[in-house]
Amino acid sequence: MKRKFGVDISYSVAWRGRECAYENLRLVTPEQSYKLLPGYLHMLMDTNPGSFQYLFIAFAASIHGFSYCRPVISIDATHLKGKYIGVLFTAVCHDANQQIFPLAFGVGDSENDASWTWFLGRVKSVFGVNPALVIVSDQHRSINNAVQEVFP
């Protein structure tokens, strides 16, 4: 702030200003958004029958489209930051045009063996087992353990 605008403020003041600005930009608070989530999921289920299992998000278009993709699934996770912490799990593949094709998303508490086993178990239950399936990852220890357990 000092270099760019010539204003010397502490980190906590800048953070409170950021939060205030975000509140003014948002129509609802994060808490209100989470209260809207069940209705949103209900509408998604109505418009995408068969898309959800165990609060694990896999759209019907992804489930049906996977059969036309190469049997190579890339998986990764990223840590959610801010007020609500956790881990966002993703599974993607490439379609025939070499475009990234999203398969599934999940949210867990942390990137550990139990979370990865849960996520990969859902991927397996939704997309099935293909003997030629290849899983690509960043070789996180928990991913390796979960792959060995779910896809022996």
Asked if residue 72 lies in contact with residue 23, where contact means CB atoms within 8 angstroms, the answer is no
How far is 69 from 128, CA to CA, in rounded Å? 14
* pLDDT value, residue 27: 62
SS3 115: helix
Pairing of strands 56-57, 52-53: antiparallel
Q: Which two tokens stand for residue 57?
A: 């998000």
- pLDDT in 10s for each residue of the chain, 152 residues: 677 778 888 888 888 888 888 777 666 676 777 777 778 777 877 887 765 544 688 988 999 999 999 999 999 999 988 766 778 899 999 998 989 999 999 988 888 898 999 999 999 999 988 889 999 999 889 999 999 999 88
CA distance 129 to 45: 24
Bridge-based pairing of strands 72-80 and 56-57 is unpaired
> C-alpha distances in angstroms, 32 versus 27, 29, 63?
9, 5, 31
The conformation of residue 81, written as its DSSP 8-state character, comes to: -
Whole-structure pTM value: 0.66
Q: What pLDDT is stored for residue 46 in this prediction? A: 80
